[in-house]
Structures are given as structure tokens and as C-alpha cells.
Amino acid sequence: MGLGLTQRTLALRLGRSAKTVATWERDKAEPLARQWPGLEAALGPGLVPEREDLAGRLRTARLRLGLTQEALAARAGLDPRTVRTVESARRQTSRRTAERLACALGAL
């Protein structure tokens, strides 16, 4: 990204260990939902992996807000399993569910 940050410097900014940052860089693990806003604040926007389908857009929006699936479900008044199902694109999402999720994410 050209910011000149070492893993150690980034780790200090995020309150994580350099080993954790190295693990993320090697794609051995992914940051937790609550860590994404700090990462984007430190490194710039566009870090959250994006997909163009509803499931991908939902996941991206959720992570940018630092929400877990459970926290988003609570905001939307849904069961956490519903959020997991929508994000996995295992079946068609109802319009009502999509609207509740969008509203919970501040999109409506």
C-alpha cells in the first residue's frame, strides 16, 4: 500500500501483536469483525474483501461497521442464523429480511 508501515508499527496502532498482523498478511487468518474499522482507518478504505452479490455486499457493510453476525442480527431483530444464511447465499433472501438488514446497516 506504500504507507511505509512495518508489521510492528501497524500492530501497535491496532493494539495487536506483530505475529497477528503477519498471520493476516500471509492469509493464515482473517481479522475479526471488530478489527476491520481500525484496519481501514490505519491503512485506508477498500480492505474488506468485496463481492458483488447481496451476500458479499452485506458482509462487506457489516465488517466495515465492525459488527459480528450476531450483533447485526440483534440490530435487525433477526435470528443470527438468518444473517449467516443470507451471507452464505444458501437460499433466496426475502425482501423483508433484506430491508431489515439494510436498515440495520444504515443503508435505508
The pLDDT score that the predictor gives to residue 104 is: 95
Residues 45-69 have a mean pLDDT of 87
The pLDDT score that the predictor gives to residue 108 is: 53
Residues 48-58 have a mean pLDDT of 83
The rounded distance, in Å, linking the Cα atoms of 80 and 36 is 20
Give the torsion through C-alpha atoms of 47, 29, 75, 62, to 10 deg. 20
How would you class 42 by CB atoms within 10 Å of its CB: exposed for 0-12, middle for 13-18, buried for 19 or more? middle
Q: Please say if the pLDDT value at position 1 is more than 70.
A: no
Cell numbers linked to 76: 435487525
Cell numbers linked to 50: 468485496
The pLDDT score that the predictor gives to residue 20 is: 93
Confidence of residue 48 (pLDDT cuts 50, 70, 90): confident
In the chain the domains, ranked by start, together with CATH numbers, are 7-43 (no CATH), 54-104 (1.10.260.40)
Residues 57-85 have a mean pLDDT of 94
